[in-house]
Amino acid sequence: MKLLAGNSNKTLAEAVSAHLDVPLTKAQVKRFPDNEVWVTIDENVRGEDVFVIQSTSYPANDNLMELLICIDALKRASARRITAVLPYFGYARQDRKTGGRTPISAKLVANLITRAGADRVLTMDLHSGQIQGFFDIPTDNLQAAPLMAQDIKDHHGAKAASELLIVSPDVGGVVRALAVASRLNADLAIVDKRRSGPGKSEVANIIGDVSGRRLIMFDDIVDSAGTLCSAAQSLIDAGAAEVSAYVTHGVLSGAASERVKNSVLKELVITDSIEQPDPILNNEKIRRVSCAALLGEAIRRIANEESVSKLFD
What phi and psi, each to the nearest 5 degrees, are found at residue 11? Answer: -60, -45
Which pLDDT value is given to residue 161?
60
Which pLDDT value is given to residue 313?
75
Binding site as annotated, residues for D-ribose 5-phosphate: 195, 219, 223-227
Binding site as annotated, residues for ATP: 34-36, 93-94
Longest dimension (CA), the chain: 61
CA pair distance 292, 311, nearest whole angstrom: 14
pTM passes above 0.85: yes
Contact 285, 261 (CB under 8 A): yes
What is the residue type of 3?
A: L
The average pLDDT across 27-39 equals 95
In this predicted structure, which of 67-76, 89-98, 196-205, 228-237 has the lowest mean pLDDT?
A: 196-205
Which pLDDT value is given to residue 199?
56
What phi and psi, each to the nearest 5 degrees, are found at residue 49? Answer: -95, 105
- Give which of 260, 291, 263 is closest to 275, Cα–Cα: 291
The average pLDDT across 253-280 equals 96
DSSP 305: T
Q: Please indicate whether residue 193 is annotated as part of the active site.
A: yes
CA pair distance 237, 215, nearest whole angstrom: 13
CA pair distance 184, 157, nearest whole angstrom: 9
CA pair distance 87, 92, nearest whole angstrom: 12
Which pLDDT value is given to residue 302?
98
Binding site as annotated, residues for Mg(2+): 127, 170
pLDDT band at 205 (very low <50, low <70, confident <90, very high): confident
Contact 185, 228 (CB under 8 A): no
Contact 109, 86 (CB under 8 A): no
| Average per-residue pLDDT for the chain | 94
Going along the chain from its start, the domains and CATH numbers come out as 2-143+293-312 (3.40.50.2020), 145-290 (3.40.50.2020)
**Burial of 136: CB neighbours in 10 Å, binned 0-12, 13-18, 19+:** exposed
Contact 51, 87 (CB under 8 A): no
CB count within 10 Å of CB 300 equals 16
Torsion over CA: 247, 250, 254, 256 (sign):
positive
pLDDT digits (tens, 9 = 90+) for 38-62: 999 999 999 999 999 999 999 999 9
Contact 83, 67 (CB under 8 A): no
The average pLDDT across 278-306 equals 97
Tell me: cis bond preceding 169? Omega within 30 of 0 counts. no
pLDDT band at 157 (very low <50, low <70, confident <90, very high): confident
Which three-class secondary structure state does DSSP give residue 119?
coil
Crossing angle for the helix pair 60-76 and 105-116, to the nearest 10 degrees: 20
Which three-class secondary structure state does DSSP give residue 20?
helix
Q: Is the pLDDT of residue 159 over 90?
A: no
CA pair distance 283, 311, nearest whole angstrom: 32
Binding site as annotated, residues: 34-36, 93-94, 127, 170, 195, 219, 223-227
| Selected catalytic residue, list 75, 193, 261, 310 | 193
Torsion over CA: 1, 271, 171, 215 (sign):
positive
Q: Which helix (H) or strand (E) holds 86?
A: strand 81-86
Which pLDDT value is given to residue 158?
57
